[in-house]
């Protein structure tokens, strides 16, 4: 069993964040900032790519076509396109050799989507992966801190809602993850907090830090034979994630460090997949 002390170790600076986050978080949840994003003209993925690369390489063009990325009505910009191609590439790699038949309809949950900047990748992947005509999808996201206000005076949930409106059957719950037992074919945890320092530096109160419970709830919410995909940042986090999975008695069926031609990050990213 991984020592909880290790996960929750407190350095001196943590005490400052502990108090500050408790106050900020309570205030955010009292005010519940809401300033919907006004309708903006959509800009297609291909037009952004055309502006970046003199010549689109054939694998990118294939990705755009296979996953119908140009049908997504959103005001894409360069960063958003790059990050979505990165996540899409990652999902494809993760499922390449997996013993998993995507059901139709498919139910998936994303734990902690933030403002769901990668929703285009997630929804398109789940819709069209090995399914030319597209499958019926029900995707749910649970975000514990949806009222954080960005510099442009929109709250995190407002940005997410703008993205959700570009798709069908997607729900974004403004609350902590609640796993209903045996509900989901797939569960995603993209960069869950395993170290208290990360949880605190993202502005969350210490009392909400319980990565083991979150993992447990995520697994509980899977149907039998369902898949949990986790992305971690850095080797230490990946190592710890592995121990948490093994402690929970789960068998890791895919485990790799991910690199993509679409985007470079400062920290390494690791992918772990388990089957219930
Ligand atoms: C490091 S961020 C990852 C954001 C996004 N998934 C990504 O790929 O970049 C972790 C997110 O999980 C959210 N979170 C943490 N605990 C949660 C919980 N119990 N339920 C729902 N969301 C949670 C945080 O508020 C934050 O938005």
- pLDDT tens series, the chain, 276 aa: 555 566 666 677 788 888 999 999 999 999 999 999 987 888 999 999 888 765 567 888 899 999 999 999 999 999 999 999 999 999 999 999 898 999 999 999 999 999 999 999 999 999 999 999 999 999 999 999 999 999 999 999 999 999 999 998 899 999 999 978 889 999 999 999 999 989 999 999 999 999 999 999 999 999 999 999 999 999 999 999 999 999 999 999 999 999 998 999 999 999 999 999
Strand order in the sheet with 222-233: 170-173, 137-142, 106-111, 184-190, 222-233, 269-275, 251-258
The pLDDT of residue 150 is 96
* Number of the ligand 1 atom closest to the C-alpha atom of 156: 27
Rounded to the nearest whole angstrom, what is the distance from the C-alpha of residue 134 to the centroid of ligand 1?
28
The pLDDT of residue 9 is 67
From its phi and psi, is residue 233 left (phi > 0), alpha (psi between -120 and 50) or beta?
beta
Name which residue sits closest to atom 27 of ligand 1, judged by CA: 114
The pLDDT of residue 73 is 94
Dist. CA 8–CA 206, nearest whole Å: 9
Dist. CA 36–CA 91, nearest whole Å: 30
Rounded to the nearest whole angstrom, what is the distance from the C-alpha of residue 147 to the centroid of ligand 1?
13
User: Under a CB-based contact definition with an 8 Å cutoff, are residues 196 and 7 in contact?
Assistant: yes
The pLDDT of residue 134 is 96
* Number of the ligand 1 atom closest to the C-alpha atom of 142: 21
| Ligand 1 pocket mutation pick from 84, 112, 241 by most atoms within 8 angstroms of CB | 112
The pLDDT of residue 187 is 98
SS3 of the chain: the string is CCCHHHHHCCCHHHHHHHHHHHHHHHHHHHHCCCCCCCCCCCECHHHHHHHHCCCCCHHHHHHHHHCCHHHCCCECCHHHHHHHHHHHHHHHHHHCCCCCCCCCCEEEEEECCCCCCCHHHHHHHHHHCCCCCCCCEEEEEECCCCCCECCCCCEHHHHHHHHHCCCCCEEEECCCCCCCCCCEEEEEEECCCCCHHHHHHCCCCHHHCCHHHHHHHHHHCEEEEEEEEEEEECHHHHHHHHHHHHHCCCEEEEEEEECCCCCCCCCCEEEEEEEC
Name which residue sits closest to atom 7 of ligand 1, judged by CA: 190
Per DSSP, what are the bridge partners of residue 273? Answer: 229, 254
The pLDDT of residue 109 is 97
The pLDDT of residue 55 is 56
Planar angle of CA 53, 49, 66, nearest 5 degrees? 120
- Which residues are near ligand 1 (CB < 6 Å)? 111-114, 142-145, 176-177, 190-191, 193, 202, 214
The pLDDT of residue 75 is 94
Planar angle of CA 224, 143, 120, nearest 5 degrees? 80
- CB neighbourhood size of 65 (10 A): 12
Dist. CA 126–CA 103, nearest whole Å: 10
């Amino acid at each position: 069993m991984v020592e909880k002390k290790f996960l929750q170790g407190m350095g001196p600076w943590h005490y400052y964040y502990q108090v500050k986050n408790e106050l900020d978080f309570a205030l955010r949840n009292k005010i519940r900032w809401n300033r919907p994003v006004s309708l903006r003209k959509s800009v297609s993925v291909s037009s952004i790519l055309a502006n970046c690369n003199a010549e689109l390489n054939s694998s990118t063009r294939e990705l755009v076509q296979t996953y119908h990325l140009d049908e997504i009505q959103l005001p894409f910009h360069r960063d958003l396109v790059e990050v979505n191609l990165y996540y899409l590439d990652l999902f494809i790699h993760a499922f390449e050799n997996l013993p998993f038949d995507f059901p139709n309809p498919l139910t998936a949950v994303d734990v902690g989507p933030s403002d769901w900047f990668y929703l285009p990748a997630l929804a398109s992947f789940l819709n069209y992966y090995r399914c030319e005509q597209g499958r019926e999808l029900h995707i749910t996201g649970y975000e514990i801190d949806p009222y954080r206000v960005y510099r442009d005076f929109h709250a995190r949930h407002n940005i997410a809602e703008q993205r959700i409106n570009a798709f069908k059957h997607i729900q974004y719950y403004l609350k902590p993850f609640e796993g209903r037992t045996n509900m989901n074919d797939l569960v995603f945890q993209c960069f869950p907090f395993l170290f208290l320092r990360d949880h605190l530096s993202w502005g969350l109160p210490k009392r909400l830090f319980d990565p083991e419970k979150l993992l447990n709830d995520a697994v509980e919410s899977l149907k039998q034979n369902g898949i949990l995909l986790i992305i971690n940042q850095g080797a230490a986090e990946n190592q710890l994630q592995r121990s948490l999975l093994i402690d929970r008695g789960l068998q890791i069926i895919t485990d790799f460090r991910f690199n993509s031609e679409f985007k470079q990050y400062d920290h390494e990213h690791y992918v772990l997949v388990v089957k219930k």
